[in-house]
Amino acid sequence: MNFQVRLRACAWLLGCICSLSGWAHDSITTETRQRFMLTLQQSQQVLASTTSVVDKAKAYFTIATTLDEIRDLFNEDIQSHGSVNGLESAVLLTELTRGGFTLHKSKQIGLYLSPLDHYRSALSLHPKAGYATLAAYRLFKNQFYDSFTDNPLKPLSQSREELTKLLQIGDTLLKSKDSIVNQEEVQFIQAIHTLQAIDQQLLSPADGQKKFKQLLTQLRSQYPQSLKPLTLEALGNF
């Protein structure tokens, strides 16, 4: 076999491998799609049929976590391929819209956003639920990463009232010992919210800078390998 034939054979084999890789990347199968929709529909039925605040809160939380799982898969596709990939994913998008579970895509960020209102509803109805810490953490983290493009100090849309609530949630999460809470993330995000609070005059420069430096020192001490303190130093610029 001469060199050209070998080269063509290698090219053909590589093409087959790439095709298989693309096919294997389809992260949503028929079974997965059906499971997602069944979970959402059952939760929706609970909301429509029960008067129990506890049951309604759990249904909102289940809808939120299910939609978050779906949006993570969709966003992975967008980041890898530039769009949602696969027939089952396309069908799921249509079914979500038809069923009243539309996932909204940010024009500025180019990704699907977290269903924050469902987390808020769950926490509002049952703030002492066993899943409340996880709901608060996901609300806190997802709202932050969905809020900006390249500069976290310039959120796309965030009122003073929203920032005040996020600071309160952050302070609560900082005290949590629950393993589901990533304290490195919480300290990092809370430090940035503190800088935002200074900018929006929710905190005085003196109080805000003191709190920011405490969070930065704590982050450096507890996570010496983390790169997040470097980001905070650049943003703080005191």
* 184 and 105 together in one domain: no
Same domain, 59 and 122: yes
Give the structural domain span for 76.
Answer: 28-131
Residues 164 and 124 both lie in one domain: no
**What is the Cα–Cα distance from 124 to 95, expressed in whole angstroms?**
28
pTM listed for this prediction: 0.86
- Same domain for 127 and 154, yes or no, is no
Do 127 and 32 fall within a single domain? yes
Please name which of 152, 159, 153, 149 lies closest in space to residue 106, comparing C-alpha atoms. Answer: 149
On whether both 168 and 117 belong to a single domain, the answer is no
pLDDT for the residue numbered 20: 38
Contacts of 59 (CB under 8 A, 6+ apart): 43, 44, 46, 47, 50
Same domain, 101 and 169: no
Count of domains for the chain: 2
What value does the mean pLDDT take over residues 66-87? 93
The whole-number average pLDDT for the span 81-89 is: 90
Q: Indicate whether 10 belongs to any domain.
A: no
**Contact 64/122 with Cβ under 8 angstroms?**
yes
pLDDT tens digits along 144-163: 999 999 899 999 989 999 99
Crossing angle of helices 116-125 and 132-145, in 10° steps, is 150
- Cα–Cα distances (Å) from 59 to 47, 62, 119, in that order, read 7, 5, 10
Query: In this structure, is residue 32 part of a structural domain?
Result: yes
Residue 138 lies in a domain: no
Q: Is residue 9 a part of any domain in this protein?
A: no
Residues 45-50 have a mean pLDDT of 96
Is residue 233 domain-shared with residue 185, that is, in the same domain?
yes
Residues 116 and 64 in one domain: yes
Average pLDDT of span 25-48? 92
Residue 155 falls inside a structural domain: yes
